[in-house]
């Protein structure tokens, strides 16, 4: 099984497996050796093993076992790779729903088998003409994508409809005391709203590290970073973390939108109830 240029996340029982974690499984399946797999990925064997064990702990399942034929993926590990492979095939066959990580929580309710990925990957797929519905986490991109000149130059079409589905807020997540000067930033997210508020409130802050993936950002909290996280993603947070609501909580509200390129989006009453249970405001 070969990797593809566009990285995709895979969901397993409500938990997202990041593109880098998928690469661990692909390399191990290909080489049947942690040492060879680590060489393939240009990381140390110890780092490979730590990341693989961390993924097992995150999912709560065994992903590999030792045998006379080498290190073999379990049925669960193979199932995850098959899901990844099916996503990859869909890139070549037809248009589909693609969402950012936050809008992806809603996409899983409204659409069948949405692909959830970082927004820069989503934009690549959009430019390639693979998308009929796009979930957008940050309203800034609604502004950009709503510009006909942008769509004509980047996508080749400006025939679309925008659907405002829900609202979300940010909360503060930390392992110990929240540290404004040791933040983890999430690219293509609405965190910029929080940063603007902090500036207006006169609160000094510093983003020390950035990632495209909020689930990677949550992992980084374990390393001592503090995080402004979408409230809808709190179910993925370790129960031992501190969760605080900032005094400017209400000001962090932001829209979660979907852009449809010729496909109708229907929302039933039951869908609205499910979206509310996820922590969104409808």
pLDDT at 273 (0 to 100): 95
What is the spatial distance between Cα 275 and Cα 252, in angstroms, rounded to a whole number?
A: 19
Q: In sequence order, what DSSP letters do the residues of 85-143 get, joined into one string? A: HHHHHHHHH--EEEE-TTHHHHHHHHSSS-EE--HHHHHHHHHTT-EEEEEES-HHHHH
What is the spatial distance between Cα 231 and Cα 102, in angstroms, rounded to a whole number?
A: 10
pLDDT at 17 (0 to 100): 86
Q: What tokens does 139 get?
A: 């309203």
pLDDT at 135 (0 to 100): 94
User: Please, where in the chain does CATH 3.40.190.10 lie?
Assistant: 170-252
Pair 8, 114: CB distance under 8 Å: no
List the chain pLDDT tens, one digit each, 282 residues: 344 344 567 777 777 788 889 999 999 999 999 999 999 999 999 999 999 999 999 899 999 999 888 999 999 999 999 888 877 766 555 668 899 999 999 999 999 888 898 888 888 788 767 788 999 999 888 877 765 555 555 554 556 788 999 999 999 999 999 999 999 999 999 999 999 999 999 999 999 999 999 999 999 999 999 999 999 999 999 888 999 999 999 999 999 999 887 777 889 999 999 999 999 998
pLDDT at 93 (0 to 100): 55
CATH 1.20.1250.20 fits domain 170-252:
no
Residue 133 CB coordination number (10 Å): 24
For residue 5, CA distances in Å to 88, 92, 216, 269, 282 come to: 10, 13, 20, 39, 36
User: Please, where in the chain does CATH 1.10.10.10 lie?
Assistant: 10-88
Q: How buried is 12 (Cβ within 10 angstroms: 0-12 exposed, 13-18 middle, 19+ buried)?
A: middle
Domain range 94-167+256-277, its CATH number among 3.40.190, 3.30.2450, 1.10.3470, 2.30.110: 3.40.190
CATH 1.10.3720.10 fits domain 10-88:
no
User: Which residues have CB under 8 Å from 255's CB, separation 6+?
Assistant: 139, 142, 164, 166, 167
């Amino acid at each position: 099984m070969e990797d593809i240029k566009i990285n995709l996340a895979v969901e397993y029982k409500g938990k997202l497996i990041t593109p880098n974690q998928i690469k661990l499984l692909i390399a191990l399946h290909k080489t049947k050796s942690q040492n060879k797999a680590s060489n393939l990925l240009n990381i140390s064997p110890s780092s490979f093993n730590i990341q693989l064990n961390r993924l097992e702990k995150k999912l709560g399942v065994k992903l590999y076992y030792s045998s006379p034929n080498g290190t073999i993926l379990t049925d669960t590990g193979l199932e995850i790779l098959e899901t990844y492979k099916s996503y990859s095939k869909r890139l070549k066959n037809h248009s589909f729903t693609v969402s950012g990580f936050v809008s992806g929580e809603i996409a899983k309710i409204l659409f069948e088998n949405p692909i959830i990925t970082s927004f820069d990957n989503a934009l690549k797929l959009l430019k390639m003409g693979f998308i009929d519905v796009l979930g957008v986490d940050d309203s800034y991109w609604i502004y950009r994508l709503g510009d006909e000149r942008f769509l004509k130059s980047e996508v080749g079409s400006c025939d679309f409809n925008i659907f405002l589905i829900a609202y979300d807020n940010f909360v503060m997540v930390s392992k110990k005391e929240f540290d404004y000067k040791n933040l983890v930033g999430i690219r293509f997210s609405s965190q910029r709203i929080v940063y603007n508020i902090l500036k207006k409130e006169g609160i000094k802050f510093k983003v020390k590290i950035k990632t495209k993936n909020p689930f990677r950002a949550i992992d980084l909290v374990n390393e001592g970073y503090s995080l402004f996280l979408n409230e809808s993603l709190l179910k993925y947070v370790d129960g031992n973390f501190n969760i605080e609501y900032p005094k400017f909580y209400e000001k962090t509200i932001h829209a979660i939108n979907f852009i449809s390129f010729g496909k109708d989006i229907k929302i039933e009453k039951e869908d609205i109830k499910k979206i509310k249970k996820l922590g969104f405001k409808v």
